[in-house]
Amino acid sequence: MLFIALLSSSSFLFSMQIVPPVLPTLIEVYDVSNARASNLMSFIALPGVFLSILGGAFVNKYGTKIIGLTGLILVSVGTLIFALSSSFLSLEMSRLIIGVGGTFLIVAMPALLTQYFAQREMGLAMGIHGLNMPLATLVSFNLLGITQIIYGWQAPFFIAFIICMAALSIFSLFVKEEYKERTNLSFSGIKNGQIWLLGLVWATFNMAIISFLTWSPKLFMDFWGLDPAKSAFTSSMFMVGSLITPLTGYLSDRIRKRRLLMMLSALGMTLSFLFLPSISVEALVPATILFGLVVAFVPPMIFSIPSKIMDSKNIGLGFGVLNACLGIGIFLGPFVVGLVMDMIYDKILVFFTMAIFALSSLLLTLVLKER
């Protein structure tokens, strides 16, 4: 179940993350501004803002298998439409479809894992599941950056469609849910103030990280003089550091100081954004790997806490709140940074904007209560 949850969520994140390496090409082909180009990342997050809580309620009522299958079908269809699109508007609409499917997946997969792992194991399980973003980003930023150069920008999206269909087949054949009493369609769990505060921490964290992953290939090209393949490779090194999420999840199970670890990580993120503009091109790869190590403590902590602050019958709703806030972060982060780039294209200002997002995550974690 852990492998299937990882594969399923990774297929969505893979479809999401193949855009940044081809973004400079798409800007040139369709002659759009940086702000509008950011829609290809923002639009994939927009459905999560409005549908995640409903998706969480659906998980409680219908179970993770039905909602997970629905999500995988929509991600597959949206990815194929993107590959076949001939206008920028159709690209944007296909990203909305992928976003709807991804919303259901990101809510359902952690809820599936809570059926199979006890609280004392939750950090490690969520840490392994948290490999989804690093794996998806490493493959997309490296393999597909080269693929688009050789075969054109549509080719990576056909590859993503094949991966999505493989995940859909495996999920439909092998997922089995532990017996769980179904609940009526209820939204009472959203009154829990701590889950919303945790969601805001998650939103600001992703405003920082997704804006970095979205724009770093372009920034490394424009300010450090890297070619497209090297800039995509350097950006992906951020996710090499993030591969330690199983270890950080395991440590959280042993240390039981999840909030403290999140605060230290957010502080490290803030400082990293402030120092990155001064890094030489020779030190860029190790600095980016180190940056990934710093942020790897947050995702396992975020997804381990809902089972502590919400009762089991509302756990789907809790993950729905987190994903709604995730959608807000993914939507706002790249868009705001894109606006800054359109107004004043200065690397210090761009990274300072990302640092503000990270600092906001730190301040919100200070008032979070873990029980």
Q: Which residue has the higher pLDDT, 152 or 77?
A: 77
Please state, as a whole number, how many other Cβ atoms lie within 10 Å of the Cβ of residue 201.
30
Provide the pLDDT confidence category of residue 56 given band limits of 50, 70 and 90.
confident
Q: Which residue has the higher pLDDT, 321 or 369?
A: 321
pLDDT tens sequence across 78-129 = 999 999 988 999 999 999 999 999 999 988 998 888 888 887 888 888 889 8
Asked if 301 contacts 252 with a C-beta cutoff of 8 angstroms, the reply is yes
pLDDT tens sequence across 270-299 = 999 999 999 999 999 999 999 999 988 888
Position 253 scores a pLDDT of: 80
Which is nearest to 333 in space by CA: 241, 202, 141? Answer: 202
144, pLDDT greater than 70: no
Which is nearest to 295 in space by CA: 130, 123, 48, 128? Answer: 130
Q: Which residues contact 118 (CB under 8 A, 6 or more apart)?
A: none
Provide the pLDDT confidence category of residue 182 given band limits of 50, 70 and 90.
low
Q: Which residues contact 353 (CB under 8 A, 6 or more apart)?
A: 211, 336, 337, 340
Provide the pLDDT confidence category of residue 178 given band limits of 50, 70 and 90.
low
Chain-centre distance of CA 56, in angstroms? 17
pLDDT tens sequence across 192-227 = 888 899 999 999 999 999 899 889 988 999 999 998
Q: Which residues contact 149 (CB under 8 A, 6 or more apart)?
A: 228, 229
346, pLDDT greater than 70: yes
330, pLDDT greater than 90: no
Q: What are the domain boundaries of the chain?
A: 2-172+192-366
Which is nearest to 270 in space by CA: 144, 172, 166, 363? Answer: 363
Taking CA atoms, 348 is separated from 65, 97, 227, 281, 286, in Å, by: 46, 35, 21, 15, 20
Q: Which residues contact 212 (CB under 8 A, 6 or more apart)?
A: 238, 273, 354
DSSP of 279-297, one letter per residue? Answer: --GGGHHHHHHHHHHHHTT
180, pLDDT greater than 60: no
What is d(CA 69, CA 164) in angstroms, rounded to the nearest whole number?
A: 11
Q: Which residue has the higher pLDDT, 45 or 215?
A: 215
For the domain spanning 2-172+192-366, the CATH number is 1.20.1250.20
Which is nearest to 58 in space by CA: 47, 66, 50? Answer: 66
248, pLDDT greater than 90: no
Position 181 scores a pLDDT of: 57
What is d(CA 17, CA 75) in angstroms, rounded to the nearest whole number?
A: 13
DSSP of 37-92, one letter per residue? Answer: HTHHHHHHHHHHHHHHHHHHHHHHHH-HHHHHHHHHHHHHHHHHHHHH--SHHHHH
* CB-side neighbour CA atoms (13 Å) of 58: 20
